[in-house]
DNA sequence: CCCAAGTCCTGGTTGC
DNA sequence: TGCAACCAGGACTTGG
């Protein structure tokens, strides 16, 4: 699942190669995966656009584009959903296999041809091209969970009086952007907090612990280049390393690595949730 | 058949 | 009583 660390891994790789490249052709489009924009708009807007900057907010990639003669930037916004992959190739090579949803060709001065492909088995991913700013839905997101400007006091204010389970709170992108199911379970294990606790019932000291672990665990995810428990690969097709580091996700029925108790499983916010009933309170 | 899980949407409940 | 905020759960997608 591409969550914040996986998307950040991809962003860094794209940021190292795409700026300065110009879109020359849109060779494949999956209309079902377009949001608030049509295939025709994509075909018309992208070619001749030059990549200026590759940004990210939560799980969204925001690729800023410039257009000759126009002061206003446009943006290509990409969400990888559950199984999305972005791969970069030289002009000739293309990864064989199905699920190719979008294929873009670019040219970069003093570099050569590039192909950018968006693969997605489940089509939960989406792509959007817009003028003036990134996709409007980004305005609904909270600060970036890793690099955004927020602190424990912000969390204390956001959890106030909320009865929603703590894990559901972490998954709600309006509070913090970027945490998904895997990192939510891992963060809660490290923080020693039960995913079932009503968020508003946390003590100040517990929220402070949570704030530390959110940044620390996501930072580890980035350092290890993401978690490849299922489909995630980077722009060269290589897996990350965080899956070796998991303490609870996917370990239901196994023993807690801190206290030895058998890990339990629950459904929270419709998502499978694994936790230690002893040391997560 | 169920499960995995991103986001979006709907409808019901809560509480001011 | 009215209304907004909140919260739970379903839809969507494909492969294991």
Quick check: helix, strand or coil at residue A196? coil
Calpha distance A107→A65 (Å, rounded): 14
What percent of chain A clears pLDDT 90, i.e. is strictly above it? 86
Please list, in sequence order, all residues whose beta carbon lies within 8 angstroms of the beta carbon of residue A110, skipping any fewer than 6 positions away: none
A2 among known catalytic residues: yes
Q: Which helix (H) or strand (E) holds A217?
A: helix A204-223
Tell me what pLDDT residue A148 has. Answer: 96
Tell me how many helices (H) and strands (E) chain A has.
6, 10
Calpha distance A58→A5 (Å, rounded): 9
A3 among known catalytic residues: yes
Per-residue confidence band for A62, with pLDDT thresholds at 50, 70 and 90? very high
The pTM of the full predicted model, rounded to 2 decimals, is 0.95
Q: Is the dihedral of CA A263, A264, A265, A266 positive or negative?
A: negative
How many angstroms separate the Cα of A134 from the Cα of each of A78, A176, A190?
A: 10, 18, 34
Calpha distance A108→A74 (Å, rounded): 19
Protein CA A209 to sugar C1' C5 (Å): 28
Calpha distance A52→A44 (Å, rounded): 19
* pLDDT of A93 strictly over 80: no
Catalytic residue, from A11, A45, A56, A59: name it: A59
Bases on strand B under 7 Å from any protein CB: 3-8
With DSSP H G I counted as helix, E B as strand and the rest as coil, what are the percentages for chain A, rounded to 5? 30, 25, 45
Four-point Cα dihedral A190, A192, A197, A201, nearest 10: -110
Q: Which nucleotide's C1' sits nearest to the alpha carbon of A270?
A: C9
* pLDDT of A240 strictly over 70: yes
């Amino acid at each position: 699942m591409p969550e914040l660390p996986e998307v950040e891994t991809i962003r860094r790789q794209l940021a190292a190669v795409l700026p300065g490249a110009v879109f020359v052709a849109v060779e494949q489009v999956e209309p079902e995966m377009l949001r608030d924009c049509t295939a025709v708009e994509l075909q018309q807007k992208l070619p001749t656009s030059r990549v200026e900057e590759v940004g990210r907010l939560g799980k969204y990639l925001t690729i800023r584009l410039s257009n000759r003669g126009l002061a206003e930037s446009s943006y290509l916004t990409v969400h990888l959903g559950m199984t999305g992959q972005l791969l970069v190739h030289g002009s000739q090579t293309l990864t064989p296999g199905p699920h190719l949803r979008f294929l873009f060709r670019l040219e970069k001065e003093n570099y050569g041809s590039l192909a950018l492909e968006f693969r997605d088995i489940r089509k939960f991913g989406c792509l959007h091209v817009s003028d003036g700013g990134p996709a409007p839905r980004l305005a609904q997101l909270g600060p970036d969970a890793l690099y955004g400007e927020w602190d424990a006091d912000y969390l204390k204010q956001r959890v106030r009086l909320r009865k929603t389970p703590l894990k559901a709170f972490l998954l709600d992108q309006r509070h913090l952007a970027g945490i998904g199911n895997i990192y939510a379970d891992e963060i809660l294990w490290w923080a020693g907090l039960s995913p079932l606790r009503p968020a508003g019932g946390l003590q100040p000291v517990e929220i402070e612990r949570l704030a530390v672990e959110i940044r620390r665990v996501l930072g580890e995810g980035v350092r290890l280049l993401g978690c490849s428990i299922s489909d995630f690969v980077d722009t060269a097709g290589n897996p990350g390393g965080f899956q070796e580091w998991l303490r609870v996700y996917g370990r239901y029925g196994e023993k807690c690595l801190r206290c030895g108790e058998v890990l339990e499983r629950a459904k929270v916010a419709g998502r499978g949730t694994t936790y230690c009933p002893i040391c997560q309170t």
